[in-house]
């Protein structure tokens, strides 16, 4: 006797990909990174890299709602995965209703606002730590990009001169600003400007290994360990990027400065209610050569 038992399996195209979950990811709030998405470096300006899984029976083809843009993404969560929190069933039901209403009315604003509030509440509940640091940095850098260069990507374009352009995006995992260029040789004026704009950062140059590659510059900052340090670090990035714009594109920076003077700078992280220790950490200077040290 031949028996056929039909089960709700994964799509055949994904049959050889690991990722069937014993525990479905539906209702999970997860972080996703470049390994999960195919967007430009730094991601899209609307996204925050934090998503609510609305259909997660199969990790390799999970449907998730980005909590920044309110848009549905199909993510492969069978590789790296950080689950920060879970939402209650009523919350997921309400999100599903908003998704349906958004599709029917072609007005995603209510869904976007609610999704972003869910994301902020998750960050407040989980707090700041090594796992959430990339998301806090992404949210903060998104504000900087919206103030200095609002476009589809989370990067800042700086015109260095005729035919010379660099794009600055943030590597959220290593807390480093990455300046992508089209140059195949070092650019001393840009290197000098980066050194002056970011005195607290470590300036590195990535040499091209192939003819089709170009030079990149990285300004690496110390990894922040608290939300306060994260805001300070982002403040240094903002001031440095602003000084670069003022140096290479003063007319554009002047118009941006007038807007920010009128409406203020965006700072989403300032609105988060996260308790942190009030201790002040200060660096201890190294002893002078020849000084007397008692052991």
Predicted confidence (pLDDT) per residue in 18-62, tens digit: 554 456 889 999 988 765 454 555 567 788 889 999 987 877 788
Instruction: Decide which of 126, 161, 187 is a domain's last residue.
Output: 126
Residue 246 falls inside a structural domain: yes
Give the whole-angstrom CA distance, residue 223 versus residue 250.
Answer: 31
CB 36 within 8 A of CB 77: yes
Give the whole-angstrom CA distance, residue 34 versus residue 90.
Answer: 31
Helices (H), the chain: 89-105, 109-126, 133-148, 188-197, 227-248, 250-263
Residue 151 falls inside a structural domain: yes
- The band of 85, judged by pLDDT with boundaries at 50, 70 and 90, is very high
Q: Does 56 or 250 have the greater pLDDT score? A: 250
- The band of 13, judged by pLDDT with boundaries at 50, 70 and 90, is very low
- The band of 269, judged by pLDDT with boundaries at 50, 70 and 90, is very high
User: For the segment 204-243, what is each residue's pLDDT rounded down to a tens digit?
Assistant: 998 877 777 888 999 999 999 999 999 999 999 999 999 9
Same domain, 150 and 84: no
Nearest CA among 37, 60, 63 for reference residue 52: 63
Average pLDDT, whole number, for the chain? 84
Same domain, 232 and 262: yes
Same domain, 122 and 139: no
Domain assignment of residue 191, given as a range? 134-271
**SS3 at position 101:** helix
Backbone angles phi, psi at 136, to 5 degrees: -60, -45
Same domain, 57 and 184: no
Instruction: Decide which of 73, 97, 126 is a domain's last residue.
Output: 126
Same domain, 118 and 180: no
Instruction: Decide which of 107, 126, 145 is a domain's last residue.
Output: 126
The stretch 271-275 carries a mean pLDDT of 85
Residue 280 falls inside a structural domain: no
Residue 10 falls inside a structural domain: no
Tokens of 185: 């040789």
How many folded domains does the chain comprise? 2
Same domain, 92 and 215: no
Same domain, 114 and 141: no
Same domain, 55 and 83: yes
Helices (H), 106-132: 109-126
Same domain, 71 and 148: no
């Amino acid at each position: 006797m031949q028996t056929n038992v039909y089960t709700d399996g994964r799509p055949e195209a994904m049959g050889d990909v690991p990722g069937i979950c014993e525990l479905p990811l539906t209702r999970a709030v997860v972080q996703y990174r470049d390994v999960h998405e195919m967007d430009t470096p730094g991601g899209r300006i609307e996204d925050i890299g934090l998503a609510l899984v609305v259909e997660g029976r199969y990790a390799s083809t999970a449907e998730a709602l980005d909590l920044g843009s309110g848009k549905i993404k199909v993510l492969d969560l069978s590789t790296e995965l950080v689950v920060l929190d879970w939402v209650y069933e009523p919350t997921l039901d309400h999100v599903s209703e908003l998704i349906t209403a958004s599709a029917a009315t072609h007005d995603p604003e209510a869904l976007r606002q609610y999704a972003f509030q869910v994301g902020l509440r998750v960050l407040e509940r989980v707090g700041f730590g090594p796992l959430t640091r990339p998301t806090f940095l992404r949210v903060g850098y998104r504000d900087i990009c919206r103030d200095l260069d609002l476009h589809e990507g989370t990067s800042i374009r700086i015109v260095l001169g005729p035919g010379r352009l660099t794009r600055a995006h943030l590597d959220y995992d290593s807390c480093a600003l990455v300046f992508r260029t089209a140059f195949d040789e070092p650019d001393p004026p840009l290197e000098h400007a980066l050194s002056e704009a970011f005195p607290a950062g470590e300036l590195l140059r990535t040499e091209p290994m192939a003819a089709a590659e170009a030079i990149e510059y990285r300004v690496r900052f110390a990894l922040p360990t608290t939300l306060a340090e994260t805001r300070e670090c982002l403040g240094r990035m903002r001031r440095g990027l602003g000084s670069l714009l003022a140096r290479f594109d003063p007319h554009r920076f002047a118009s941006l400065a007038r807007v920010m003077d009128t409406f203020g700078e965006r700072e989403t992280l300032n609105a988060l209610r996260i308790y942190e220790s009030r201790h002040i950490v200060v660096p201890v200077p190294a002893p002078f050569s020849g000084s007397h040290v008692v052991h």
